[in-house]
Structure 1
């Protein structure tokens, strides 16, 4: 493994005790000097009997940064010991390119990883994707728009508090949420503001061209053929309202897809809060497959173990 890291694709290093190949270019730099074309590949410290399943991670930034790969080290710390290779993927910021560039970026990264699977001991048939916030949007969009030719499909997706229907975000904000969001971003009209993260992603004020905004909504791509999707969202989220995940889950259920939705009271826009057992009293779990739904309250708990079980079931 050390020889592989030192000789293929990029500099070898260790991060949190995990071997990592950094700064791999999955596409040309556009614009020059940007980082939205790079990925890091975190490999398990011990060898495997066969090619590795791949967990693709892209962290959120409100589409304002091209550093989505940088938070993959924490995901690798959890999933490398489970036998996954973790690919941290950066996509372009909205200031560098407008939608659909970000969707094209994640699809290009998936194709690149598949094309180079043999080089790094990866299993091209076992790709899954995960992200939080705008990275959760990236994961859901990749899962619901992936195709076999060219091969950008994944087997499952996990989306932490993803934005989905931009045009409904303001009406779904919790009490005090609009004021909080405006103060954080220096806005006056929350998500509908011409300078909001969503408007910047599209390159125009979102309420002025609603038909074009629909293309950014992962729910609009829901179908019975979608890979299994897990959604986790805190009910007290003041950045991306909880209702955004409700819309996505309902669309998946109506389409006959397989989906699991954890709705967590007391949790905000933070993975730690969503996964914190202190917030797991009275949380609701919605599970649907083929149009049949099962709802439980208080169990199972949202946890990394639950995420791992979900991915394991999807891959096997």
Structure 2
């Protein structure tokens, strides 16, 4: 496995350089771009919620790019989405997106609204409708938007993946704990319903008893389902 650390993919005046790390097997079947969680205000590209996630993906033949984006203390929406889209352009190859929580939110938005080709999305416990969150002026959502969602409803809708579903969306796998008290599973249920209604390919799995950040979940099973989905899409078509 080759490892390239701290590759600068974007430099903006007044901000820290934005970096990605790249883990590569000898002959990758495809690239997975990982987006970390942390409520848009914290988190690290090097600390996935499932330990060993990157190594498992590389062992399955995927290159993995783990990406920084501007946090809400640095810039408000759409800044982090813009960063993700620039990172995808920087890689110069179609990629899958895998995100957790806030990172899953950005992964869905990038796949649904961006111009870079996305092969598919694995979204772990994503917030998909910011107006459905009980978010006050000091909430994570308010930090992302610069105001409480209900005070800026048009911006909140623009930042909500459920508002951007369309038939040409890439395949999406939604995995969400049915005991998630921070981002209720209804967010993934409504996202799946919207994609299905639009005619887009989507799979939804509610994980019994699991909370946010995969609390009380079998993370090996989570990885198995995610890898199976990615490998099925990455497999070359049979002739």
Name the TM-score, length of structure 2 as normaliser: 0.91
* Partner Cα separation in structure 1 for residue 107 and residue 19 of structure 2: 17
Indicate yes or no: 2:223 matched with 1:304. yes
* Partner Cα separation in structure 2 for residue 69 and residue 230 of structure 1: 21
Question: Which residue matches 2:21?
Answer: 40
* Partner Cα separation in structure 1 for residue 13 and residue 184 of structure 2: 32
Alignment of 1:139-288 (within 5 A): 139-147=107-115, 152-170=116-134, 192-271=135-214, 273-276=216-219
Indicate yes or no: 2:69 matched with 1:91. yes
Larger relative contact order, structure 1 or 2 (CA cutoff 8 Å, min sep 6): 2
Question: Is contact 2:53–2:223 with CA below 8 Å preserved after alignment?
Answer: no
Relative to 1, partners in 2 of residues 1:256 and 1:274: Cα closer, same or farther, differing over 3 Å?
farther
Unaligned runs of 5+ in 1: 1-17, 115-123, 171-191, 278-301
Question: Is contact 1:68–1:91 with CA below 8 Å preserved after alignment?
Answer: no
Name the TM-score, length of structure 1 as normaliser: 0.69
Question: Is contact 1:144–1:221 with CA below 8 Å preserved after alignment?
Answer: yes
* Partner Cα separation in structure 2 for residue 276 and residue 96 of structure 1: 32
Relative to 1, partners in 2 of residues 1:30 and 1:161: Cα closer, same or farther, differing over 3 Å?
farther
Relative to 1, partners in 2 of residues 1:31 and 1:163: Cα closer, same or farther, differing over 3 Å?
farther
Question: Which residue matches 1:24?
Answer: 7
Offset at 1:31?
A: 3.6
* Partner Cα separation in structure 2 for residue 271 and residue 144 of structure 1: 25
Question: Is contact 1:214–1:220 with CA below 8 Å preserved after alignment?
Answer: yes
CA RMSD in angstroms, aligned pairs only: 1.8
2:179 counterpart SS class: coil
2:5 counterpart SS class: strand
Question: Which residue matches 1:62?
Answer: 39
Task: Judge which range, 252-261 or 236-245, deviates more.
Answer: 236-245
2:21 counterpart SS class: strand
Relative to 1, partners in 2 of residues 1:145 and 1:274: Cα closer, same or farther, differing over 3 Å?
farther
Question: Is contact 1:71–1:88 with CA below 8 Å preserved after alignment?
Answer: no
Question: Is contact 2:35–2:100 with CA below 8 Å preserved after alignment?
Answer: yes
Question: Which residue matches 1:135?
Answer: 103
Unaligned runs of 5+ in 2: none
Relative to 1, partners in 2 of residues 1:305 and 1:219: Cα closer, same or farther, differing over 3 Å?
same
Offset at 1:166?
A: 1.3
1:231 counterpart SS class: strand
Task: Judge which range, 232-241 or 303-312, deviates more.
Answer: 303-312
Report Cα offsets for 1:189-221 as digits up to 9, x if no partner. Answer: xxx210100011001121112122100111111
Offset at 1:69?
A: 1.5
Question: Which residue matches 1:117?
Answer: none
Question: Which residue matches 2:90?
Answer: 112
Offset at 1:74?
A: 2.9
Query: How many residues align structurally?
Result: 233
Relative to 1, partners in 2 of residues 1:253 and 1:43: Cα closer, same or farther, differing over 3 Å?
same
Question: Which residue matches 1:79?
Answer: 57
